[in-house]
């Protein structure tokens, strides 16, 4: 874990209430695994809000990295107000990220809402390693979808909206269709309701896809001191920040 002053390079609204902020921070951008996260102090004086906020690595480019986030409170509103040259204190990388297979395969990436944040970096690494990648993103409406241009060109991107305003109609876990038997591995990030639904879909399909998920829990500290992000698994209580955020789907949703 490294503590560094991250310098804002750019800050862009990419879709409804959701921003991508790029930072220059050589230490924080090095040695990152797909699905890991970092903690950012979302205030100028570290007092309001007092605790740092957890953000997935969205993309990494040399000494630069990006985060993607929706504005939901004071911390994210602070980040959305930043401009080039502003400085934010952050520490990371933290947690355990996705494990991509060594042999080439067919990877299905599922994202619900801002759970898309770590999936772009995962897709970039998977494509570079020679995997075939299909990414599915679910949202309530077209306004909540990451634009297709943010994905690597070699990724097949499928959108699913609850109101049918873009792509397939319904929920992302209802749209697996032919991609469920096609996939040799499945990775997902989103809300717990999505994981429960995914477990129901995959539980009896007879395949050994070892689905990995990145869980979204409140993480005030990021390294296991506060016990604020407990996850109840078949193997006992685990901490999302320290033991995760990567978990086997069926360990948490049996």
Enclosing H/E stretch for 132: strand 132-139
Which domain, by its residues, includes 73?
A: 2-94
Reported for 203-208, long-range contacts at CB under 8 A and 24+ positions apart, including other chains, are 203/250, 205/180, 205/181, 207/180, 207/181
CATH number for 14: 2.40.30.10
Bridge partners of 188, per DSSP, are: 110, 213
Q: Are residues 171 and 206 in the same domain?
A: yes
Q: Considering its fold, how many domains does the chain have in total?
A: 2
Q: Which residue from 131, 150, 253, 137 is spatially nearest to 192, judged by alpha carbons?
A: 253
Write out the two tokens for 63. 């000494």
Which residues in 120-144 are b (16+ Cβ under 10 Å) and which e?
Answer: bbbbbbbbeeebbbbbbbbbeeeeb
In a domain, 203, yes or no: yes
Cα 185 to Cα 180: distance, rounded to the nearest angstrom: 9
Digits of tens for pLDDT over the chain (254 positions)? 788 999 999 999 999 999 999 999 999 999 999 999 999 999 877 666 778 999 999 999 999 999 999 999 999 999 999 999 999 999 999 999 999 999 999 999 999 999 999 999 999 999 999 999 999 999 999 999 999 999 999 999 999 999 999 999 999 999 999 999 999 999 999 999 999 999 999 987 767 778 999 998 888 889 888 888 999 999 999 999 999 999 999 999 99
**Strand 132-139 and strand 156-161: pairing?**
parallel
Most distant CA pair in the chain, distance: 53
Q: Are residues 73 and 114 in the same domain?
A: no
Among residues 39, 73, 94, the one where a domain terminates is 94
pTM for this prediction? 0.94
Look up tokens 């070892």; give the residue. Answer: 210
Number of Cβ atoms within 10 Å of the Cβ of 186: 22
Q: Are residues 176 and 111 in the same domain?
A: yes
Number of Cβ atoms within 10 Å of the Cβ of 47: 8
In a domain, 81, yes or no: yes
């Amino acid at each position: 874990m490294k503590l560094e002053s991250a310098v804002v390079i750019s800050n862009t609204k990419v879709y409804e209430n959701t921003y991508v902020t790029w930072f220059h921070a050589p230490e924080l951008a090095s040695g990152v695994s797909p699905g890991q996260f970092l903690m950012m102090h979302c205030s100028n004086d570290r007092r309001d809000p007092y605790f740092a906020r957890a953000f997935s690595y969205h993309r990494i480019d040399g000494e630069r990295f990006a985060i993607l986030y929706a504005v939901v409170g004071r911390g994210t509103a602070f980040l959305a107000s930043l401009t080039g040259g502003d400085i934010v204190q952050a520490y990371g990388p933290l947690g355990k990220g996705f494990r991509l297979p060594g042999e080439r395969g067919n990877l299905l990436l599922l994202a619900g809402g801002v759970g898309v944040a770590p999936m772009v970096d995962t897709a970039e690494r998977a494509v570079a390693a020679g995997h075939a990648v299909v990414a599915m993103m679910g949202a309530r409406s077209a306004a909540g979808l990451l634009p297709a241009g943010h994905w690597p060109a070699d990724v097949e991107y499928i959108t699913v909206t609850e109101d049918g305003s873009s792509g397939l109609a319904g929920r992302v876990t209802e749209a697996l269709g032919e991609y469920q038997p096609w996939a040799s591995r499945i990775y997902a990030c989103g809300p717990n309701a999505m994981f429960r639904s995914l477990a129901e879909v995959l539980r009896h399909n007879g395949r050994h896809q070892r689905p990995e998920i990145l869980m979204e829990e409140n993480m005030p500290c990021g390294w296991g001191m506060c016990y604020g992000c407990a996850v109840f698994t078949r193997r006992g209580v685990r901490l999302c920040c320290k033991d995760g955020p990567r978990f086997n789907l069926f360990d948490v949703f049996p």
